Chains A and B, each alone.
Chain A
Amino acid sequence: MNDTPLVELRDVSQIFWVEKPWIGKAKPLYALRNVNLQIPKGSTVGLVGESGCGKSTLGKVILQLTPQASGSVFFAGQDISHWSQKKMRPLRRHMQMIFQDPYSSLHPKRTILQNLQEPFLIHNETENMEEKIYQLLQDVGLDRETLHRYPHELSGGQCQRVCIARAVSLRPDFIVADESVSALDVSIRGQILHLLLELKTKYQLTYLFISHDLAVIEVVSDLVAVMYLGQIVEWTSAKQLFANPLHPYTQLLLEAIPIPIFRPDRRKRHQFIEAELPDPVRMPPGCPFAARCSKVQPRCREMAPTLRNLGTSETPHYVACHEA
């Protein structure tokens, strides 16, 4: 593994301006707040959190689909945070995205073949295009007949396979998989995860795997970042995170998952603090998780905790919590 991470974020913040009153200024909503993240080459980083915590925003900032408000983004050692769209274009083929809903990511009025040709045409690589497409289909486990069908004729799982084929068609280095298996049935989900892992070895890919499902994250990830309201609250190896979660939010997430095993005490009520998420526009001072935390102390409401390493230098375990 190379020492320079493939992707690196340094103090990245993203602000959306919302709730503009009739007179006066709009209010800032911090979708990302001073995020630092390193994605080593060849690894899979899982990004987990509840909806609206900024997971997808982070993915889009890395790919520079939406420019960040402040901070810098490095890709393969280069600072790409202020590149123009034109300058970005040749780099785009090295970074791809797979979305949640495969149907809406394919052109509904074009056949699968036309959908798969698109990246080759855009990047002017029409040489041996047919053969490459056949190879891709084989790689993702579809047969050639599929090429002449339209997206609506395929099942969700098949459609997602087409999207994956399209994402890897130009041999990218980095793929952001944004909730790529969330819309699929459990039985299909396993197959698609397996396919993604297979392609990772085959094409030497690096993944940022965004999901709200901790079970999925555990299967695919080497490293995991837990996000809460625009901040990374825990960041360590997957093994460490699931064996020994330190942040109360991670613990809450793990406890909330219903387990498909019969237990006599199953109806024992989850001991949750039934607080709502704070309004991201009017964030109280201190720790963003304080309102829902079971270990909350007075200082949590005054001073926001920063990420600190509670592990060793070989196996770091970063947690943003005063009480951990």
Chain B
Amino acid sequence: MTLLTVEGLQLSLREGDRFTPFVEDVSFSVEKGKTVALVGESGCGKSITCLSMLRLLNPEAVQISGGSIQFEGQDLLHLPLSQLRHIRGNSIGMVFQDPLSSLNPVFSIGNQLVEAIQNHRSVSYAEAKEKALHMLASVRVSRPELRFTEYPYQLSGGMRQRVMIAMALLGEPKLLIADEPTTALDVTIQAQILSLLIELQEEMNLGILLVTHDLGVVAEFADEVLVMHTGRIVERAPVQALFENPQHAYTKKLLASVLKLGGTQ
């Protein structure tokens, strides 16, 4: 079943008092239980495309100037903010790259999780706490009761990212948008987080839109790949086809530039 359909999306950036398009003609869809990866170099427009899905852009600087974004039949671009807010964090969860700056340093982990739950549902503190502890346990956070009382600085990078994933999954979303979720982490921790995401995806039948620049992560995790270059999707293919038979010159260049272990220069 298709969760998210994006068609002909165009984003424009403010230059002086005019808006010029810099992301153009982006079309893709995310199915239930599948992972779509959006890859490209920094500055190609990956993250901003992601943010536009939930209209998290500053309208003073960037405007969605064309196209449509449909989520389960709802037109996200024309939804009133009050209804959109219900979708954010409920049906669509989001995980960002830097887990430290995504968490509030002066509130405990538990406090932030409970706040996220109570924002979306009218439940008592005790119920919210139980839910939060359950979520921490399901993202394999060790000793959830202890972590619940701790502050972000007391957690390692991998733990913080687990907390962010827990927070994104609190509303039991159908779609998870993950913007470079493992880029700030060590390879060993990255492997743990990726296998966690794969497990959760199977458990909850999550659709995942994964933004990354790491083609290794794409090869291990994605079902479909979108290659983005200067604001346009230059290639869209199932993962196996992309790695075995890349069509676009840019994709070939990107694949060739990856340093491979065991390969000579």
Q: Which residues does A use to contact B, with CB under 8 Å?
A: 50-51, 156, 185-187, 189-190, 193-194, 212-216, 218-219, 242, 252-263, 266-267, 269-270, 272, 274, 276-277
Contacts and interface: CB of A to CB of B under 8 A. Distances in A.
B215 to A, nearest CB: 4
A189 B259 contact: yes
B255 A272 contact: no
B247 interface: no
B219 A260 contact: yes
B220 interface: yes
B254 A187 contact: yes
**By CB atoms of chain A within 10 A, which of B195, B214, B254 has the most?**
B195
21 contacts: A186-B258, A190-B257, A193-B259, A218-B261, A242-B261, A255-B191, A256-B191, A257-B187, A257-B216, A257-B261, A258-B214, A258-B217, A258-B220, A259-B216, A259-B260, A260-B260, A269-B195, A269-B198, A269-B199, A270-B195, A276-B142
Contact of B187 (A186, A253, A262, A276): A253
Nearest to B264: A219
B239 to A, nearest CB: 6
Contact of A186 (B156, B158, B213): B213
Give the interface SS of chain B, mostly helix, strand, loop or mixed.
helix
Interface in B178-227: 186-192, 194-195, 198-199, 213-221
A270 B191 contact: yes
A256 B193 CA distance: 11
B244 A274 contact: no
Nearest to B142: A276
Interface range for B: 35 or more
B136 to A, nearest CB: 14
Contact of B186 (A51, A242, A270): A51
B209 to A, nearest CB: 18
A277 B259 CA distance: 28
Contact of B188 (A50, A187, A193, A219): A50
Nearest to A269: B195
Nearest 10 interchain pairs by C-beta:
A258-B216, A260-B215, A215-B259, A262-B243, A256-B191, A256-B187, A50-B186, A185-B41, A187-B257, A260-B216
A215 B262 CA distance: 8
B157 A258 contact: no
B262 to A, nearest CB: 7
A139 B221 CA distance: 41
B215 A187 contact: no
B2 interface: no
A272 B216 contact: no
Interface of B: 41-42, 140, 142, 156-159, 186-192, 194-195, 198-199, 213-221, 239-240, 242-244, 253-255, 257-262, 265
B239 A262 contact: yes
A51 B156 CA distance: 10
A214 B265 CA distance: 14
Nearest to B239: A262
Nearest to A271: B195
Contacts of B158: 276
A258 B190 contact: yes
B192 A272 contact: yes
Given A189-B257, A261-B219, A266-B221, 6 more contacts: A185-B41, A215-B261, A260-B243, A266-B220, A267-B220, A276-B156
Contact of B219 (A254, A255, A266): A266
Given A212-B186, A272-B188, A260 B265 contact: no
Given A216-B259, A260-B243, A260-B258, A253 B214 contact: no
A242 B214 contact: no
A269 B202 CA distance: 12
A52 to B, nearest CB: 8
A259 B158 CA distance: 21
A256 B190 contact: yes
A219 B265 contact: yes
B41 A258 contact: no
Contacts of A186: 41, 213, 215, 254, 257-259
A178 B158 CA distance: 22
Q: Most chain-B Cβ atoms within 10 A of its Cβ — which of A257, A272, A277?
A: A257
B142 A262 contact: no
B83 to A, nearest CB: 36
A270 B195 CA distance: 7
A262 B244 contact: yes
